[in-house]
Amino acid sequence: MNRRDFVHGAAGAASGMLLVPPSTAFAYAANSAVRLGLLGCGNRGTHVAESFSQNTAAQVVALADLFSDQLEAARAHFNALNTGMSRAPIDPGFLFRGPHAYEQLAGSSGVDLIQISTPPFFHVEHLRASVAAGKHVYCEKPLGIDVAQARQALAIAQRVQPTQSIDVGFQCRSAPPIAAIAERIHTGALGKIASVSGYYFAPASVEKIVPGASMMDEPRERDEHRLRNWLWDRALSGDILVEQNIHIIDLANWMLGAHPVKATATGGRSILTHAGDCWDNYQVDFAYPADVRLSFSSTQFGSYGLFEAGLRLFGAEGAATVPYAGPVQIVGAQPWAWQDSMSAAQDQGQFAANGAFQDNLALADREKERAFIDSIVSGPMHNQIADGVQSALSCMLGRMAGYQQREVTWEELLAHGETYELGMDLNQFA
């Protein structure tokens, strides 16, 4: 299969799912813009909002961020983008800054959709405010950095209205090669699956310096440094397993149709020496129902550019290879390959801090965003919160097993009810 065949087939399948004519569904005209407010104007947030603008009927009309420099940079970026697309610049009245910017954005009647791209610690609180305000929401993963937040997210899921659509940013599921091979795995192309191997090897994140800061011993500047370098911070990010590696764990859950029931893990902070407290490597053994095992390895250190991520699944009748870069294929009784990926056998994928990966993920963001906007314009509405929570909890299971250096079951994780505290007052940034 290649990209052209997949897109043609997907378009036909999607057209059969429309419940009402696009021109009348949910009060949106088929060619009307969905007004998007970006909450969190960092690298990833800016990339996703730009992709929404370029690939869907969404238009960025509002911006919100804790810090004025990020807000102004995003304003200049999206004003230039809107001008190039013959759209109006962002109204100054739709720029919101400070610790209550998310509430101001949620309360804006001129916004239909809120894209949550803030540090993970804040995702659930920002989701709560956005859902309560009746907005559609695109929330980046993870849905919670601890069990307490995961439970809050599930409670929010129960309050989503039939007129609201909520998506979680697991765009890898929408990458055409991955969606195509997943379909074959779900219909039994591998036979009984016994073993899965997963990996996510990434370079270290680059430090972001506080603008104009010279005295890092001042409490406010230390807190701002934490916020700007949230990838280093366990409470803000959930550690690398929950924040970054979750994409691979989510794909494993999706392809196996279940979440892990227990885990053992090792790892630690072996290389990194900066001020953060996240681990830089994990080795996790997840046990799934029917005694299926996922052996997962992760690293996040080094400046030498190595990046590899993906899954390999082994069954009684075949084996599947599902990498971010390189051949996507099945060998065995029902051989199959994504033809566009076969020439990339020797190519090394490139890490993208903003998530704009190429190779097999080149169309992942676009396809995910189009499906989400279609749900708003034409229906049916989405509510992906429960699935997002399941994947977040799966990663928390591995994290707890690593921290406690013992086997942890799913029931023990939920009973433990772990909670992480931010340990700072955001009002100092008002």
CA distances from 318 to 65, 211, 398 (A): 48, 54, 27
The reply to whether 403 falls in a domain is yes
Please indicate, yes or no, if residue 362 is contained in any of the structural domains: no
* Banded model confidence at residue 8, pLDDT cuts 50, 70, 90: very low
Taken in order 41, 45, 48, 49, the sign of the CA dihedral is negative
343 shares its domain with 408: yes
For residues 84 and 191, membership in a common domain is answered with no
Say if residue 302 is in the same domain as residue 154: no
Residues 159 and 186 placed together within one structural domain of the fold? no
- The larger pLDDT score, comparing residue 28 to residue 118, is at 118
pTM: 0.91
The structural domain count of the chain equals 2
In a domain? residue 398? yes
Q: Are residues 38 and 152 in the same domain?
A: yes
The domain boundary, picked from 126, 144, 172, lies at 172
Shared domain for 89 and 185, answered yes or no, is no
Same domain (yes/no): 91, 226: no
Integer Cα distance of 332 and 330 in angstroms: 7
Q: The domain that contains 49 carries what CATH number?
A: 3.40.50.720
Residue 6 resides in a domain = no
The average confidence (pLDDT) of the chain is 91
- pLDDT tens profile 185-241: 999 999 999 999 999 999 999 999 887 765 567 889 999 999 999 999 999 999 999
Domain of 119 in residue numbering reads as 11-172
Same domain, 146 and 230: no
Same domain, 239 and 108: no
CA–CA distance from 212 to each of 75, 208, 224, 275 (Å)?
21, 12, 12, 19
Q: Which of 143, 172, 201 is the last residue of a domain?
A: 172
Would strands 281-288 and 34-39 be described as parallel, antiparallel, or unpaired? unpaired
Residue 376 in any domain: the answer is no
Least confident range from 22-31, 35-44, 94-103, 155-164: namely 22-31
* Residue 114, C-beta contacts closer than 8 angstroms, at least 6 positions apart: 36, 37, 39, 105, 106, 126, 130, 135, 136, 137, 138
The 10s digit of each residue's pLDDT in 49-79 is: 999 999 999 999 999 999 999 999 999 999 9
pLDDT tens, residue by residue, 380-393: 999 999 999 999 99
pLDDT above 90 covers a percentage of the chain that reads: 83
| Same domain membership, residue 397 and residue 328 | yes
